[in-house]
């Protein structure tokens, strides 16, 4: 069986940067999981004693606290700065961009549309920067627009950095037809584009696709859904332990891709285990 990695996969700029920051601040703690990858978080704990808080109320005054790549809501950041000695911001710069856009556009009197998952920490953070929180609308598809009442006919749009560009265009197109001005900010991350395009290319050729990444990682789930469009035997796994030998029976071409928060050492282990199944 041929085993091939997508031409672009895995760690993006923001994740690499956040991990470097965490490694630099030994004995610190992150506010929420630094990235959506449990194996890597366990490694940071083991090798650098980087802890993890899930609630603001748990922090202690002497802590050094690292803001996760996805960012946190504006008021949480303010509160955190009051409570601890040192706050290190590892928010991905590509997430800071939509935070600033929402802040400025809301101030300029635009209604805000966020294309993203209302429960995702990045989206919660981005939303929090609006002046008028009642005029920020978060949707996942063009169909959700019918339930929305904007306060203005000037709309500013941002997207969660890891979302699918095609769906974003569907949404902004519908808005353009019904509003005088739509200000479209392309906040989808290039790394996401590249991984998505490469996943599409390889999944067309493969008869089995292995997508490696956290089950709660938005961009990994996106990759999985793209692969499923072209290759029905596409599996999402977090690490090599989830691989099942039966998946590979009669397969001739195994494609591999990985989400933006999947470390190379996890990908390597998956690759080797697959190879051991069918040398």
- Residue of 173, 241, 268, 276 that binds its own copies (CB under 8 A): 173
- The CA–CA distances, whole Å, from 250 to 107, 167, 201 equal 59, 35, 22
d(CA 235, CA 79): 41
Q: Is 181 in the site for its own copies (CB under 8 A)?
A: yes
DSSP per-residue string spanning 212-235: ES-TT-HHHHHHHHHHHHH-S-EE
d(CA 141, CA 74): 26
- Residue of 48, 176, 200, 228 that binds its own copies (CB under 8 A): 176
Alpha helices (runs of H) in 87-164, residue ranges in sequence order: 93-107, 121-127
The annotation status of 8 as a binding-site residue, yes or no, is no
- Residue of 3, 31, 65, 172 that binds its own copies (CB under 8 A): 172
Residues 6+ positions from 74 with CB-CB distance below 8 Å: 99, 125, 128, 129
- Residue of 169, 200, 225, 233 that binds its own copies (CB under 8 A): 169
227 CB neighbour count, 10 Å cutoff: 27
> Site mask, its own copies, residues 128-167, x = CB under 8 A?
-------------------------------------x--
Span from 66-74, 127-135, 184-192, 234-242 in contact with its own copies (CB under 8 A) = 184-192
Question: CB 116 → its own copies: shortest distance, Å?
Answer: 16
The annotation status of 227 as a binding-site residue, yes or no, is no
Question: CB 160 → its own copies: shortest distance, Å?
Answer: 15
User: Is residue 122 among the annotated active site residues?
Assistant: yes
Q: Is 256 in the site for its own copies (CB under 8 A)?
A: no
- Residue of 180, 246, 250, 279 that binds its own copies (CB under 8 A): 180
Query: CB-wise, 160 or 217, nearer to its own copies?
Result: 160
Q: Is 249 in the site for its own copies (CB under 8 A)?
A: no
Would the CA dihedral through 1, 196, 226, 10 be positive or negative?
Answer: positive
Backbone φ, ψ for residue 76 (5° rounding): -65, -40
Question: CB 220 → its own copies: shortest distance, Å?
Answer: 22
Residues 6+ positions from 137 with CB-CB distance below 8 Å: 111, 112, 113, 114, 148, 150
Q: Report the run of H or E that residue 65 belongs to, with start and end.
A: strand 64-67
Query: CB-wise, 43 or 165, nearer to its own copies?
Result: 165
The annotation status of 143 as a binding-site residue, yes or no, is no
Catalytic residues: 122
């Amino acid at each position: 069986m041929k085993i091939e990695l997508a031409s672009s996969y895995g760690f993006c700029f923001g994740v690499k940067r956040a991990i470097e920051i965490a490694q630099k601040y030994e004995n610190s703690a992150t506010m929420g999981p630094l990235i959506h990858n449990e194996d890597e978080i366990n490694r940071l704990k083991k090798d650098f004693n980087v802890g993890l808080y899930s609630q603001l109320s748990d922090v202690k005054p002497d802590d050094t606290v690292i803001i996760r790549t996805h960012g946190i809501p504006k008021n949480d950041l303010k509160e955190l700065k009051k409570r601890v000695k040192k706050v290190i911001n590892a928010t991905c710069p590509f997430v800071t961009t939509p935070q600033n856009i929402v802040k400025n556009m809301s101030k300029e009197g635009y209604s805000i549309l966020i294309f993203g998952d209302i429960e995702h920490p990045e989206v919660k953070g981005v939303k929090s920067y609006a002046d008028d929180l009642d005029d920020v609308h978060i949707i996942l598809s063009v169909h959700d627009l019918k339930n929305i009442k904007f306060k203005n006919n000037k709309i500013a749009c941002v997207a969660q950095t890891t979302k699918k560009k095609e769906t974003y265009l569907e949404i902004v197109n519908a808005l353009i037809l019904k509003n005088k001005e739509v200000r479209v900010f392309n906040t989808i991350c290039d790394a996401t584009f590249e991984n998505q395009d490469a996943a599409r290319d390889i999944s067309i050729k493969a008869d089995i696709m292995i997508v490696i990444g956290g089950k709660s990682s938005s961009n990994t789930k996106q990759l999985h859904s793209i692969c499923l469009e072209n290759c029905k035997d596409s599996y999402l796994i977090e690490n090599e332990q989830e691989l099942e030998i039966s998946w590979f029976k009669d397969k001739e071409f195994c494609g591999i891709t990985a989400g933006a928060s999947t470390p190379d050492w996890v990908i390597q282990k998956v690759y080797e285990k697959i190879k051991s199944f069918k040398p």
